[in-house]
Amino acid sequence: MPPGLPQAIENFRRWFPSSPPPSQPQPQPDTAGPAAAAAGDEEARRRRALGELRENLKALAPDHEFLKEPLEAGAIPDQATVDRYGKEVTRIVAEKVDAKTEELRSKSTHDHRSGVRTISGGIDLRAEFDGLKVSGKRVYTQSGQYSEGRGGEMYELPGGIRIGFRMANDMNAGTAKSTPTLDIKLPGQRPIKFHYNEGR
């Protein structure tokens, strides 16, 4: 090594110190990208869900204490609030369907040949159906009288209960679509069928 080179290197280092590495830019909040869009979609979903649940509650129990809770305009509900309303609507629906089912069972006879309960005596199964379908959404089956265009009406209620009204065939009289029928299907259970027949 040439004489004086080490001193020259040391002097160079002293006069021209190495620059620190450039600082990395800090990540900025995503205000326009996919993450922000997803957050906005989630907030909108919660607003819609809570609004729908409150409307269901108004229809099912207009004086319910939840409806007295103040909601700030534009406030974004958290998921816990949405879940709380959802559980309450589901509970009220289940109690309403259970009570009506027991009432109709007490006024009916069981036909062991067809596995249905027969109702008579001035009971309007269509009116009973209209009362039970509150808060439900119209659904269709793949086939049968509840498929699209076949005339039957089926609604799915919060919690998965399905309520249907159709005109069934009267096998004894041999007349087609002459028997008002109310079908109640609880998740995981066989349907409960009520047929109206004044003569039985």
Q: What is residue 106's predicted lDDT score, i.e. its pLDDT?
A: 92
pTM higher than 0.85: no
Q: What is residue 113's predicted lDDT score, i.e. its pLDDT?
A: 67
Q: What is residue 21's predicted lDDT score, i.e. its pLDDT?
A: 57
Range of the domain at 187: 98-196
- Are 177 and 168 in contact, with CB atoms under 8 Å apart? yes
On whether residue 174 sits in a domain, the answer given is yes
On whether residue 151 sits in a domain, the answer given is yes
Amino acid present at 100: K
pLDDT tens, residue by residue, 83-121: 999 999 999 999 999 999 999 999 998 776 667 899 888
> Is the model's pLDDT at 13 over the cut of 90?
no
* pLDDT bracket for residue 31 (50, 70, 90): low
Higher pLDDT, 32 or 124: 124
Q: What is residue 61's predicted lDDT score, i.e. its pLDDT?
A: 95
Closest to 51 (Cα-Cα) out of 33, 71, 68, 36:
71
On whether residue 84 sits in a domain, the answer given is no
Q: What is residue 17's predicted lDDT score, i.e. its pLDDT?
A: 60
- Are 52 and 136 in contact, with CB atoms under 8 Å apart? no
Structure tokens of 110?
């069981």
Strand pairing class (192-196; 116-119): parallel
Q: Work out the mean pLDDT of the chain and round it to a whole number.
A: 84
* pLDDT bracket for residue 179 (50, 70, 90): confident
pLDDT tens, residue by residue, 132-172: 999 999 999 999 899 998 889 999 999 999 999 999 876 56
Q: What is residue 100's predicted lDDT score, i.e. its pLDDT?
A: 96
On whether residue 185 sits in a domain, the answer given is yes
> Is the model's pLDDT at 12 over the cut of 70?
no
How many separate domains does the chain show?
1
On whether residue 90 sits in a domain, the answer given is no
Q: What is the mean pLDDT of residues 50-58?
A: 94
Higher pLDDT, 26 or 55: 55
Q: What is residue 19's predicted lDDT score, i.e. its pLDDT?
A: 57
